[in-house]
Amino acid sequence: MSIPSSKSGSQQEGLDTLPRDDVVLIEVAWEVTNKVGGIYTVIQTKAKITIDEWGENYVMMGPYFEQNARTQVELVEPHNTAIKRTIDSMNSKGCKVYFGRWLIEGNPCVILFDVGATAWNLDRWKAELWDCCAIGIPWYDREANDAVLFGFLITWFLGEFVSQCGGNCPFIITHFHEWLSGIGLIMCRTRNIPVATIFTTHATLLGRYLCAGNVDFYNNIAHFDADREAGERQIYHRYCMERAAVHCTHVFTTVSHITAVEAEHLLKCKPHVVTPNGLNLKTFSAIHEFQNLHSKNKMRIQEFVRGHFYGHLDFDLDKTIYFFIAGRYEFTNKGADVFLEALSRLNYLLRTHQSRVTVVAFFIMPARTNNFNVETLKGQAIRKQLWDSVNIVKEKFGKKLYETLLVGELPEANKMIDQEDFIMMKRALLSTQRHSLPPICTHNMLDDSTDPILITIRRIGLFNHPNDRVKVIFHPEFLSSTSPLLPLDYEEFVRGCHLGVFPSYYEPWGYTPAECTVMGIPSVSTNLSGFGCFMEQHITDPSAYGIYILDRRFKSLDECCNQLTSFLYSFSQQSRRQRIIQRNRTERLSDLLDWRYLGRYYTHARLLALAKAFPSDFSHDRAQISSSFHYSRSPSYSPSFSYHSSPYYSDSESEPYNEDEEAEKDRESIKMDTMLDLVHERNKNVEDTFAAFRNSSINNLSTPTRPSDPPSTTTSSPSKPTNPSDANKPTNPSTSDSPSKPTNPSDANNLTNPSTSGSPSKPTNPSDANNLTNPSTSGSPSKPTNPSDANNLTNPSTSGSPSKPTNPSEANNLTNPSTSGSPSKPTNPSEANNLTNPSTSGSPSKPTNPSEANEPTNPSRTTDASSA
């Protein structure tokens, strides 16, 4: 799939020429060269695309830690004389400032500050913070004290740099990430340092604490007293730092729309731009070998499973699929509770249906341990011993077979394996005898009796019993290729699994499902995670592409568990061929998560910050740029485009499958590269058509539908796409004359009682699908022009072509359809309410949508436009 391009004309030039010699971009984060959280991944992966755009005018700032700088940073002399003079000036006044290059892809310049070396300034700087912002920092909060030191050092550097540049000072954009760097932004504004500021919150501080406390967060988000909640959790000073930075910055951004809602309620500020997190796809590129990598790493996982379940390996590994959940050990926030409950229900379903499929679910979450589990280590040792014994017997057997054939004799089975070989195999077989169940946890837990995962496993009874079709393995440690148990790093492990399950309750973005996607592994996410919301916005039918979105916002916990169980069960019933096809489709979504595509949102934020900070030097049409970066679903984006390219699930391994054709269909379904141009062209064509139709019509027409609405259908003719690109797309042909085409992905599930007519109804609003409770059996059911009409069609006509009201209120008045042969024609819009006895003649009524003015008309129709 090609990377979308939304720039055109003068706007294209404006965006391309942004990095000028007189503009410097500085990115500030506590995670620069310091791997302590997910923001580290954002900073690291985005560096390459930012360097390509800004070159040497891009600088990062972060804290200096000796152990990190020794392995990740090459200390060099600054290339910029003003930066060199600034660093020398600060070092001469008691600071320790280092300049170097971060040894990651792109080798960006970094300026690191030793916050401990300037601790002698802490009391003075905290007093200044209190005087200007009334934010008091307690002495015992070391993390907040470090944030104060770090922020004031950033401010000191920026002020000194502007002073050193003198009259030749460039325009400076300073991008601050999270509350730990927020003090620097606050002090830059209070000291009136001429810099354009951007502040990004990757997750609100209070939101993390509230969700960690098991509260009903999203249902009560509008009712929380933020000050009181922060005070009760003893983070009020941190909350004030974050909120002050949000309100002081020129541009405030968040990483997802769900986090934007959170920030609007808790921080009392609506973000200006949403900047989704991306990945550097070059890191994950496999040159179309990801299927082979899956097979290779799956075999390595199978070797671990053989050892872990020795003595109870009574299930077929060829019919075993691997699920996993990974991340920080936040039992409820990461959805481990929902996953375990769904596994229990999945186990019941598989046993009830006597399925031959076995599911092995891995929990990769670091917890407090003291060593490996002896039983787990023993299993791997026995597996290796058995493998070595088999290799010895195999080598001896091969030698004897070769010698026997060499003399021209046929081998005799009783002479190929001697008594010594039988004794060796008996000893190996004896060692595989086991009188206990395979362990759940691979390590010795320090808090075994209070661990949430182990407590839940004991409650639901998943103990890896031979009768269980779902097996659980808890690995309370990050994966490593040097581990004696599972010698795989995280990327290799993910490629070997079949499905990543991340039913998170609080997930501002979600890098784990994103990494699964770029590696071609299907995943489960939720509509409370940034990744899930992003995919729902960009993909019409995410489940067809291996992205299962769990509804955790509008469903109860029990309903969520049932929905997840349904996802897992349907996935477990797929054949090997079906899973291969789905992995191909999942991998094609990678470009949506590439920084080359998502970097445009950051470009938007920088342009907006420059325009706000330096309005006399930079102009920025916010509305125009915002529309250019908005990729919402258009009416032409319907599930039918996913349906016609959805994998045809069949157990037949010999059935023909053309990967190139499937890829081409997917490129049409995820049509992002020229969508904006097509939308603008469609809007222009609709406006022109509407103007022509209005000029040729009589003034007593009813109120027409909006130009942006999709054109209504007529009788049994196929529907007409509202987007120019749709004309060349297949529209999922079915057995009906004109298949229904919902305008929202959720509509596909809502058409629970479809009509048997030749042209099913097509709701013009996503909610209409639920309202068609009594569809007509006519050849062309009526189509309301207002969402509320769907509720009013309580007694649809059974005639060949029902009339179509031209006013929303008409739906209530069609109480007694007539069987006359000529439909009534109102001469005034107000007469629409008086059509109490409309005709059901064979001549269908003509819609009032302007876009249909150029469509071929039925010869039986009147030629007067006012007859619509």
pLDDT number for residue 11:
36
Which of 127, 245, 115 lies closest to 185, judged by CA? 245
- Which stretches within 6-80 are classed as H helix? 9-16, 38-54, 66-72
Is the pLDDT assigned to residue 703 strictly greater than 60? no
Paired tokens of 635: 């009416």
Note whether 826 and 868 are within 8 A (CB).
no
pLDDT number for residue 138:
94
Mean local confidence (pLDDT), 292-320: 93
Write out pLDDT tens, residues 546-594.
999 999 999 999 999 999 999 999 999 999 999 999 999 999 899 899 9
Which of 184, 176, 172 lies closest to 618, judged by CA? 172
Write out pLDDT tens, residues 393-409.
888 888 888 888 888 88
Percent pLDDT > 90 in the chain is: 56
Look up tokens 């280590």; give the residue: 377
Sequence-ordered list of residues with C-beta below 8 angstroms from that of 316, at least 6 positions apart, any chain: 356, 358
Paired tokens of 469: 């079709």
- CA distance linking residue 751 with residue 762, whole number of Å: 10
Paired tokens of 693: 């139709």
pLDDT number for residue 410:
84
pLDDT number for residue 404:
87
Q: Name the residue type at position 166.
A: G
Which of 503, 502, 505 lies closest to 513, judged by CA? 502
Strand-strand pairing, 369-372 and 443-445: antiparallel
Residue 292 phi/psi, 5-degree rounding, is: -65, -35
pTM beyond 0.85, yes or no: no
- Average pLDDT of the chain, as a whole number: 77
- CA distance linking residue 238 with residue 230, whole number of Å: 9
pLDDT confidence band for 18 (50 / 70 / 90):
low
Q: Report which listed range, 154-168, 632-646, 658-672, is most confident.
A: 154-168
Is the pLDDT assigned to residue 47 strictly greater than 50? yes
Helix (H) or strand (E) holding 358: strand 358-364
Which of 213, 462, 474 lies closest to 368, judged by CA? 474
DSSP tag of 67:
H
Paired tokens of 30: 């506590």
Mean local confidence (pLDDT), 337-358: 96
Which of 32, 57, 53 lies closest to 42, judged by CA? 32
Write out pLDDT tens, residues 173-189.
999 999 999 999 999 99
Write out pLDDT tens, residues 585-617.
999 899 899 999 999 999 999 999 999 999 998
pLDDT confidence band for 100 (50 / 70 / 90):
very high
pLDDT number for residue 670:
58
Note whether 493 and 479 are within 8 A (CB).
yes
Taking the CB of residue 134, how many other CB atoms lie within 10 A of it?
9
Tell me if residue 487 falls in helix, strand or coil. strand
Write out pLDDT tens, residues 414-465.
778 888 888 888 887 887 888 899 999 999 999 899 999 999 999 999 999 9
Write out pLDDT tens, residues 60-81.
999 999 999 999 999 999 989 9
Note whether 690 and 850 are within 8 A (CB).
yes
- CA distance linking residue 666 with residue 551, whole number of Å: 25
Q: Name the residue type at position 236.
A: Y
pLDDT confidence band for 738 (50 / 70 / 90):
very low
